[in-house]
């Protein structure tokens, strides 16, 4: 007579524990253009503050030569910790969250009107030099162009009476 001992097979569950993680997609490797087609960015100027620690004011001209409206959503300035779009109307100034530029439209950021405020400047930014302005659009595209660094002077009347501290957030 034979006795059959039952066999118990241990099933390892270890293999299942590795199933919870998905490999991260490499989004940064996508090919977003740094020069958004259909747009021309020129006359970039950054007027440095008369008083150290104050923000600089940036100006530029943006032309939409394409056939679609674009929405400017953010600005950044190389050498500034952060930058904002502002619009001066009469005596008051307000942050500008987004700006639509229609096909064929030219938008000027200029003294007394729309301007870029650049905060916490790198001391390496000095008059006569250049830095870079980057515009980010609502669709994620970016457009960069040089910014000429100018000494304070021509922009003084614009800066007077403008308290930007309330925009620090
Ligand atoms: Cu401002």
> What end-to-end distance do the CA atoms of the chain give, in Å?
88
Q: How far apart are CA 99 and CA 85, in angstroms?
A: 9
d(CA 166, CA 169): 7
Domains and CATH numbers, the chain: 34-160 (2.60.40.1890)
What global pTM score does this model have?
0.72
Q: How far apart are CA 141 and CA 161, in angstroms?
A: 35
What pLDDT is recorded for position 153? 77
Tell me how crowded residue 151 is: count the other CB atoms within 10 A of its CB. Answer: 12
- Decide if pLDDT at 155 tops 50: no
pLDDT at 20 over 60: no
Residue 158 Cα, ligand 1 centroid: separation in angstroms?
A: 9
How far, in Å, from the CA of 142 to the mean position of ligand 1?
Answer: 22
How many Cβ atoms from other residues are within 10 Å of residue 152's Cβ?
Answer: 16
Closest CA to 51 of 2, 98, 147, 121: 121
Task: Give the Å distance between the CA of 65 and the centre of ligand 1.
Answer: 27
Question: From the CA of 165, how far away is ligand 1's center (Å)?
Answer: 10
């Amino acid at each position: 007579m034979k006795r059959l001992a039952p066999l118990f097979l241990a099933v390892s569950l270890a293999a299942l524990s590795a199933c919870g993680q998905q490999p991260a997609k490499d989004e940064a490797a996508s090919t977003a253009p740094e020069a958004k087609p259909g747009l021309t960015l020129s006359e970039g100027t950054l007027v440095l503050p008369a008083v150290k620690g104050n923000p600089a004011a940036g100006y530029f001209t943006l032309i939409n030569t394409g056939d679609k409206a674009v929405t400017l959503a953010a600005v950044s300035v190389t050498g500034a910790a952060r930058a904002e779009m502002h619009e001066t109307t009469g005596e008051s100034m307000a942050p500008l969250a987004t700006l639509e530029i229609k096909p064929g439209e030219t938008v000027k950021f200029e003294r007394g009107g729309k301007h870029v405020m650049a905060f916490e400047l790198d001391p390496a930014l000095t008059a006569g030099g250049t830095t870079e302005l980057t515009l980010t659009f609502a669709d994620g595209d970016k457009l960069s162009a040089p910014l000429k660094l100018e000494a304070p002077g021509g922009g003084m009347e614009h800066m007077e009476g403008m308290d930007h501290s309330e925009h620090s957030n």
